[in-house]
Amino acid sequence: THPSSVAFRRCSVDYRRTPGLSKTHPSRHRRRPPPPNSFVTQESARAEFDPVIDTALGQAASDVRYAHPTPSLCLASFARLASAPSQPDPSWFHRMPSSVAGRLLYVIKSGLLQPTSWMGCYASHVDDYSLLASLFDDVLGSMNTGSPVVTKPSMSSNSYDLRSQGLTKSVSIRARVSRNFEGWPLPSRMSETERLLLEQRLIRLLCNASATRPCPVFSLTPHDRWAKASTQVASKNPWHVGGDALRQLRESHVMFQDTSNDVYLTSAGVSSNWPSGRGCIVLSTGIIAWYGEEDHLRLIVVDDKGHQLGETYNKLIRSLEAVAAVLSSDGMHFARHPRYGFVSSCPSNLGLGLRISVLLPLHSCRGVSQSAQLQDWQQKAAAQGLSLRGFAGEGSEIRTDDPVEVTNSKSNRPFQTAEQMLSGLLSGASTLFRDQCEA
């Protein structure tokens, strides 16, 4: 077990249900002095001082600096801020109110428990990005020297046709946006009741925006949990799906994978209460709304026989505008930050919250091992500002005998406009396709 994961487990305060401390926790009601040999001095002791939180954060900072050669982006930023004498406030987390320090501990939890994580943090509330701006500024600065895009995505006037770059065969094009709602905890901190209430509300509202009747809803919530949040719904889930039907939905990429199998999402709390409050709604052919995955809502457009990246993207924006209008009429608004753009659970999805990809049928070179071939493809993609994923999407294995998903690099996405993403994908995917070996 990595030492920093032990540091997190030392913190026994339950932050599960409140933004700050439990109402019964004594440090919420009186100021407590720092413990002996703590990481703060008496002069810098904060109001609402909590020695359990402070010790856990201090131990984590020490472990990240001395026990982990390649910490995640968030943990590296956390360690820098906790120790750098050049910072305006060298005490940094020691001077935070306990409620904010508790947020910090929860945000970096996945990085402490999973040292192999690339990002190593998930926001737990919309205002984490304001309360912990020093951390997120440092994280984003280590990803890119630019600033996140804060404007709304708009329609593109360019088709970005792959055929213009020599890719004449039709390919599968996918575009998605991630959105979260004001006034709700983010998925890592939602209770089961909140997940169910959000699911039932989204089904009611989004079915009004669906072009298909009856509205095709596929819910993963078990029958025995469906009515736990409200007495106003049926005792059994009328949209429940499982077994072979669920397997087919996942194989056709209509439904997302089981996030409880993802160690990073599980460590962050995103997969808590699985599978309650999770599912998808088919708004029309090729337009799907996922709810309860990594973010509150993900809107996805799939064009399985496409050529024009701009056409698929514009279809997504039209659908997003229609969905936003329906939701806002019921008081549900997408959360935005003035400096980071649309709020997401993972900082890599800030900015527009947009990702665009194509599935390319890349061919292996004769006499080249699979590992060497994958390394060659990944290096070429990285040189174009792109990354590769397996046929089944996030976290899936890349196989040389399956189509490979080529998408914008997560290091660049928060800082790119839609036009930059589209033009970069057009150029990079076409280069990868042209440079591959003959079948």
Q: Which residues of 308-340 are buried (b: 16+ CB within 10 A; e: fewer)?
A: bbbbbbbbbbebbebbbebbeeeebebbbbeeb
What's the CA gap between 27 and 47, in Å, rounded?
A: 9
Compute the distance between CA of residue 137 and CA of residue 107 in angstroms, rounded to an integer.
14
Q: 119 with 107: CB under 8 angstroms? A: no
Q: Are 280 and 297 in contact (CB under 8 A)?
A: no
Q: Sort 104 into a burial class: Cβ within 10 Å, 0-12 / 13-18 / 19+.
A: buried
Task: Give the other-Cβ count within 10 Å of 134's Cβ.
Answer: 17
| Residue numbers belonging to the annotated binding site | 172-176, 253, 298, 355-359
Beta bridge partners of 334: 181
Instruction: Give the dihedral of Cα atoms 93, 15, 181, 271; nearest 10 deg.
Output: 110
CA-based nearest residue to 417, from 161, 147, 164: 147
Rounded Cα gap, residues 113 and 214, in angstroms: 44
**Which residues belong to the annotated binding site for ATP?**
172-176, 253, 298, 355-359
Distance set, CA 210 to CA 201, 227, 240, 278, 382 (Å):
14, 24, 18, 18, 38
